[in-house]
Chains A and B, each alone.
Chain A
Amino acid sequence: MSEQDPKGAGAGAYWKENIRLLITLMAIWFLVSFGAGILFRPFLDQFMIGGFPLGFWFAQQGSVYVFIVLIFYYAARMKSIERKYDLDD
């Protein structure tokens, strides 16, 4: 069982920090897939990286790589936020 009351002030601040982080990361998630891969694709396709039109690359390759980075970054950041508030498992 936890030593600290989870309803305490720590839990509130922890949750706020989590929500802020979530909003940032979900915004990136949206930008690389729906943004670069779909909405801005016609514009981005005029640039090339190697043999890929840029928008096409985001849609079929790049967005997936960013997704992986997002999850591991979130897992690592949350671990340190949880330690800060002494709420880790």
Chain B
Amino acid sequence: MSTQALIYLFVGVSFAIYIGIAIWSRAGSTKEFYVAGGGVHPIVNGMATAADWMSAASFISMAGLIAFMGYDGSVYLMGWTGGYVMLALLLAPYLRKFGQFTVPDFIGTRYYSKVARTVAVICLIFISFTYIAGQMRGVGIVFSRFLDVSVEVGVIIGMAIVFVYAVLGGMKGITYTQVAQYCVLIFAYMVPAIFISMLITGNPVPQLGLGSMVNDGSGMYVLQKLDSSLQAMGFGPYTDGSKSMIDVFCITAALMIGTAGLPHVIVRFFTVPKASDARKSAGWALIFIALLYTTAPAVAAFARLNFNDSVNQTAYEEAPGWFKNWEKNNLIAWVDKNGDGKMEVAKGDAFKGSPEYTAGTGASGQRLVKNEVLSDNANEVYVDKDIMVLANPEIANLPGWVIALVAAGGLAAALSTAAGLLLVISTAVSHDLLKSTFKPDISEKAELLSARVAATAAIVVAGILGIYPPGWVAQVVAFAFGLAAASLFPAIFMGIFSKKMNKEGAIAGMVTGLVFTFSYIFYFKLLADPAVNVADNWLFGISPEGIGVVGMVLNFIVAIVVAKLTAPPPAEIDALVESIRVPRGASEAHAH
């Protein structure tokens, strides 16, 4: 069977499974729609959380980013795992004991204020839409790359699939679909990783392979060889980054705290039966996530090593097959600056921007580009970082079914995250805005219907954002994490750990964190000229990616000062905080 036929088969079968699961586990009540009935086993929930969490970016782009960032890529590895420690220890069990459906539920009740709830809803919707626009685009790109359809058609197919299982199944449907999606995506990630680790080091465990010797008889360790080959080509060493320490520190912290404040992650811990299950479930989620996150740096190093070895100083005619394949797919380009017919890899960009191909081919048969060639450096090769994962099966000479598996895995990763995000958006609209703010007497049936309508509307908006991505989408993933860290996290944290925090303090803190972080990112990422977005102009040398930490600190300071100056919270809030602090009684708390 041809590779293309295998891809259709794998993707088709996996989609049939997702939809089958959704029909089998469709939601019949709002409780099932919002929190899957509150009876999900902690290991199952952990697996679903992992799929929810790991997006197309984690699956496809992260290893490629690390391959080119070296040590600096650690910000993603630590940042996107360390947040689960904060979740398990500081937030999840208490929110589960609190026992309602959403993050704004908690903030609105704990701070006895509709204003606080509305501020939380605004943060949540903004964070989730920023995040989902990127996901839908990811779905479209994966479809177009593997199924030979345009990105737009890809987005529409993705919307249709998500529509079926998110609108029909609600949280209950997506939980069980995500379990299946996790299995597909982790298998698809590990198989090529294991083979490529064997190929380069002879050790089948990628995590150990990264610390092993290269089996080319040189007697050098993988990282040693990578450092020396990169330095010979004019790059800095792989194991040493180029970002300043304070920036690495702040980005890592913003990603960790942002993770702990992301609504679509938090809400997953409302679905387990007990408060103690929320802790265990976060641990399981991290195990499932860590499997991919500790493999990614190994894949990154192997891919970079292999890329240097097989491309640098190689004549184009002798370039490996995957190089030409991905050139056909617009992800690789080569400009022969010195006219020697050999591809040179060095520090710097080969040309300005991403490649715009002309119809013609050059002397060696390469595709020509019309971009302005940059002559201030010797680099001749443009590589889209995504190929580091996508080309792995070909680099390791794996059969067609592995390539098909990677296609199914990338789609599973993108769809599971999109569905989780859509659900929190629809819940925020139907539960937090409609039921809790505007129309408290709405019937259960009408609320469930409105949740489905809201989910449908959210899918359409997300799809439009995916088809016509506003220029800012790629720029502002920093928004989602920075805003979650600066607005929602402190409000939830203080709501649990301080009995004195009152509504005035919490609202002032959230607004301060939100406005400060938003303005800083907006200014540097969207308003100012890219040349202004450099360390010299940043506050304390902290990039927009890491500024959420400063926003969080401001949130805490403002909240505490304002709370000292205004009336303490009423006595029933004292009792509420007392009750969420002890686990007993969590299984009854859902009945409300």
Contacts and interface: CB of A to CB of B under 8 A. Distances in A.
Tell me whether A and B are bound partners: yes
A33 B282 CA distance: 18
A65 B585 CA distance: 32
Contacts of B293: 64
A49 B74 contact: no
B587 A89 contact: yes
Interface string B239-253: 110000100110011
Nearest to A79: B276
Interface in B83-115: 84-86, 88-90, 93
A41 B555 CA distance: 30
Given A2-B584, A6-B585, A11-B581, 7 more contacts: A29-B82, A33-B252, A37-B252, A38-B252, A71-B88, A71-B89, A89-B276
Interface in B283-306: 283, 286-287, 290, 293-294, 297
Closest 9 A/B residue pairs (Cβ): A51-B221, A50-B211, A59-B74, A71-B283, A89-B583, A75-B279, A51-B211, A60-B297, A89-B274
Interface residues of A, number: 46
Contacts of B586: 89
Contacts of A1: 585, 588
A33 B82 contact: yes
Contacts of B207: 61
B579 interface: yes
A64 B89 CA distance: 15
Contacts of A37: 74, 78, 252
B77 interface: yes
B228 interface: no
A71 B89 CA distance: 7
Nearest to B201: A51
B401 interface: no
Q: Chain B contact residues: over half helix, strand or loop, or mixed?
A: helix
> Which of A64, A65, A70 has the most chain B CB atoms inside 10 A of its CB?
A64
B275 interface: yes
A15 B78 CA distance: 29
Contacts of A70: 85, 89
A19 B465 CA distance: 44
B78 A52 contact: no
A51 B224 contact: yes
Given A61-B210, A65-B290, A89-B274, A7 B575 contact: yes
A61 B581 contact: no
A53 B238 CA distance: 11
B223 A38 contact: no
> Which of B74, B81, B85, B89 has the most chain A CB atoms inside 10 A of its CB?
B85
Interface string A78-89: 110010000111
A26 B86 CA distance: 8
B88 A74 contact: yes
A70 B286 CA distance: 11
Contacts, number: 153
A42 to B, nearest CB: 8
Interface in B41-86: 66, 71, 73-74, 77-78, 81-82, 84-86
Contacts of B290: 64-65, 67-68
B212 interface: yes
Nearest to B227: A53
Given A51-B224, A61-B207, A71 B85 contact: yes
B184 interface: no
Interface string B297-334: 10000000000000000000000000000000000000
A52 B201 CA distance: 14
A87 B93 CA distance: 14
Contacts of B85: 25-26, 29, 67, 70-71
B585 A34 contact: no
Nearest to B77: A60
A56 B210 CA distance: 11
Nearest to B289: A64
B584 A88 contact: yes
Given A39-B249, A56-B239, A51 B213 contact: yes
Interface in A23-45: 25-26, 29, 33-34, 37-39, 41, 45
A6 B579 contact: yes
9 contacts: A2-B584, A6-B582, A15-B581, A37-B252, A50-B212, A51-B222, A61-B297, A63-B77, A82-B276
B145 interface: no
A60 to B, nearest CB: 4
A68 B287 CA distance: 7
